[in-house]
A = this chain, B = another copy of it.
Amino acid sequence: MEKFEINILGCGAALPTPRRLGSAQVVNIREKLFMLDCAEGAQMALRRTHLHFSHLQAIFLTHLHGDHVFGLLGLLSTFGLLGRIQDLHVYGPSDLQHVFQPQIDYFCNDSPYKIILHEIDTKTSQVVYEDRSVQISTLPLSHRIPCCGYLFKEKPTPRHIRRDMIDFYHIPISQINNIKAGMDWTLDDGTIIPNDRLTTPSAPVRSYAYCTDTIYRPSISEQIQGCTCLYHEATFAQEHALLAKKTYHSTAAQAAQIAQVAQVQQLILGHFSSRYLTEDQLLQEARQIFPNTTLAEDGRKIIL
């Protein structure tokens, strides 16, 4: 199966600690890397993963709170020192240019590559990136400032050829791509061999939804229906549900409700408040509603 992995670089909330950075992840789809948020320390954590810095295609920021963006300048600056020449696109809510362009101009003024900032409208879902492997679209969220999540949908791969059948019907190599794409085959006597005798289905299409930071927003479920993996913020335990609402964050149970209604395959909880010594309580509260839940952890890799 083609690679589709999520590398969690940091999954803490506002206060970073030596154990847990703020939010930052790298999604690896077929060795193309996409960064989600960029907390302080993200570049050091990225180095620890041994992923190739140069394979990073783009950075997607959910919102402009410090615990999601304070590592951006360091990362951009390091890319320059490492001699990157490929353009780098950074996506984020309005104010992205206002806040970061002056600092980029100051600190990366001799950068050998181009940094292109894209401000996105967080109120409606839209496709922000697309290539032959993946489509990335935004997921409107509700936080104290403009904020959106991101949904990664793998592009379908061709069906798998059944070598024995190709040989049996003497199908020429020139036709293989057509067969993979779903074409039937017609014998000299006019008999049609249906494609599903010549091929087996391709791997099911996988998807990943990254939802942080947000108040409980049930409408998310529609957009992420059947998702392979959902990362949802779970800043608070149920006992702090009022505080969650007040600060536009979610509880672990609310994250699990989203997962349940959306019928996702697995749920990863993250963005934990530093007030909890362990996140066991959050995990338990979520698992009562959605059993296939696990906790994010700095350095954890999730293979889809």
Contact = CB atoms under 8 A, between A and B. Distances in A.
A41 interface: yes
17 contacts: A14-B81, A15-B78, A15-B82, A16-B43, A16-B44, A16-B74, A17-B44, A18-B47, A18-B48, A40-B40, A40-B44, A66-B74, A70-B73, A70-B77, A99-B103, A99-B106, A102-B102
Interface of A: 14-18, 21, 40-41, 43-45, 47-48, 64-66, 70-71, 73-74, 77-78, 81-82, 95, 99, 102-103, 106-107
A70 B70 CA distance: 8
Contacts of A71: 40
Nearest to A42: B40
A66 B77 contact: yes
Nearest to A17: B47
Contacts of A78: 15-16
- Which of A43, A48, A102: most chain B Cβ within 10 A? A43
A65 B103 CA distance: 11
A253 to B, nearest CB: 25
Given A41-B41, A103-B99, A107-B66, A15 B74 contact: no
A18 B44 contact: yes
A81 B45 CA distance: 23
Contacts of A18: 44-45, 47-48
A247 to B, nearest CB: 12
Given A16-B43, A66-B73, 13 more contacts: A14-B81, A16-B44, A17-B44, A17-B47, A18-B47, A40-B44, A40-B70, A41-B41, A65-B107, A66-B107, A70-B73, A95-B106, A103-B103
A74 B41 CA distance: 10
B70 A74 contact: yes
Nearest to A41: B41
Nearest to A48: B18
Contacts of A82: 15
A102 B48 CA distance: 32
